[in-house]
Structure 1
């Protein structure tokens, strides 16, 4: 058995892997909707964050508004993701599902990878 090398380099922001699903192909709209369904079904609080691609490996991302406490409308969450993308062109956008019982992130995934020059 061999291990596959992912050619990720600091000098190339496009090559960086960012979170749970980043080693897989970009999620489709339907797949993102299923992930949001899962977050809502678990009762987790969705939150949206964004950052410039060159700072994506940092621990600090900008929060898009406050977490959506108690939000269970998948379309409302998708609309906020789209609003974040529109208002922050050139930024990566990620979705987080906060588990308020365990006081941790139950989910964290990139839902939009910015195009790099």
Structure 2
């Protein structure tokens, strides 16, 4: 019986049971979040501190941002600054005052 590598790996957020997203899939998810009117943000944490509840925010949430390329450039800037850290995309829903979506883009 083969072991599924995604079941034995650590869970990170909304899509953690799926294989790692391709660049196009990441772009599509960010585009979806923006289309919903959610505010994008980028967060990061050292892999050893992932079980804690606090992630560091990369700048402020990008309130009203409607460019997927701008969000992707912020994700890449965070990853360049912290190459061994876990970097995730978060989309905040103003209406429900909660996260509409969150997923890891770089696993550190």
Give TM-score, length-normalised by structure 1: 0.84
Query: Which residue number in structure 1 is paired with residue 36 of structure 2?
Result: 42
Query: Which residue number in structure 2 is paired with residue 33 of structure 1?
Result: 27
Contact 1:19–1:108 (CA under 8 A) maintained in structure 2:
yes
Equivalent in 96, 111, 115 of residue 105 of structure 2: 111
1:34 and 1:89 map into 2 onto residues whose CA distance is 23
**CA-atom RMSD in angstroms:** 1.4
> Deviation at 1:95?
0.6
1:48-59 equivalences in 2 (<5 Å): 48-59=42-53
Q: Could you tell me which runs of 5 or more consecutive residues in structure 2 were left unpaired when the two chains were aligned.
A: none
Q: Could you tell me which runs of 5 or more consecutive residues in structure 1 were left unpaired when the two chains were aligned.
A: 8-14
Q: Where in structure 1 do 4 or more consecutive aligned residues deviate above 6 Å?
A: none
SS of the residue 2:26 aligns to = helix
> Deviation at 1:57?
2.0
